[in-house]
Amino acid sequence: MSEPTAPPARPEQRRAGWFITGTDTEIGKTFVACTLLHALRRSGLSALAMKPVAAGFDEHGRNDDVERLLAASSVQAPRALVNPYGFAAAIAPHIAAAEEGRSIELPRIVASFEQLQALADVVLVEGVGGFCVPLGSTCDTADLAAALQLPLILVVGMRLGCINHALLTAQAIAARGLALAGWVANRIDPAMSRFAENRAALQARIAAPLLGVVEYGTTPEQAATLLQMPDRAR
C-alpha cells in the first residue's frame, strides 16, 4: 500500500484522539467507541466520534453506526465531517465505492478530522471492518490510521479464533510503526468456552494494556464504568 501524503496537523492544533480498530467486522467497534465516549463525558471531557467510511444505509439515508456515534457524542458535529464517505450497499467499502463511481481520498478524511478537533477535547475515529480493509486500489484502513497519526485501540471480539486474529492485528499495527494504546475484550459470544484462559493468553502476548472487559448484554453507559481509559493521546 502506498504511504498517504496528507501532512500532519501542526503540534499546537493537536488534541487527544484514538483510532478504534478491530479484529474483524461485527465485533463491537461502534459499541466500544460509544462506551469510550460515555467514559470521556463522565470524566468531564467533551468528546465526539467520526466514522470516516461507512457502508450500508437505509432508505432514509441513515447508517446505524453513524447514528449511534452521533447520539453518544457530547458535541454535535456536521454529518459531512463525521462521515465523509457513506455508501448505500453493506459491502466492502472499496467495492461499494467502485460500484458508485467514487473514490475514497485520505486527505479529505484527514481534513474532516482536523476540523472536528476544533470542536471537542477528544475525537475518536472508528475504522471500518478490520485493520487492513481496502479503501481503494492504493490504500487501506492501515494507511488511514497512519495518515491520522493516532494511537490505536484494538477491539477483540471474544470468540473461538480470537487469539490468532488479535495477535495478527497487533503485529500488523506494530509493522506499520503505529502505537497500540490498549485493547478491549468484548464478549460477543457469551457461551465462549475458556474465556478466562483466552483472555490471559492475549494479555501475555499483546504488548499493550487490557483496558477492560465488556460483558455481553451491557449498554455503553454501563460498560463506561468498567473500562480504563488509555493514556491521553496527542
Residue 157: in which H helix or E strand, if any? strand 152-157
Residue 16 sits at φ, ψ, to 5 deg, of -70, 150
- Is 51 known to be catalytic? yes
How many Å apart are CA 229 and CA 226, to the nearest integer? 10
How are strands ordered across the β-sheet holding 152-157? 47-50, 122-126, 16-22, 152-157, 180-186, 210-214
- Exposure of 146 by Cβ count < 10 A (0-12 exposed, 13-18 middle, 19+ buried)? buried
Of 216, 215, 145, 198, the C-alpha closest to 174 is 145
Question: Which member of 29, 51, 187, 199 is catalytic?
Answer: 51
The CA distances from residue 183 to 53, 132, 225, in Å, are 22, 17, 16
Who's near 212: CB < 8 A, 6+ residues apart? 184, 185, 223, 226, 227, 228
Q: What residues are annotated to the active site? A: 51
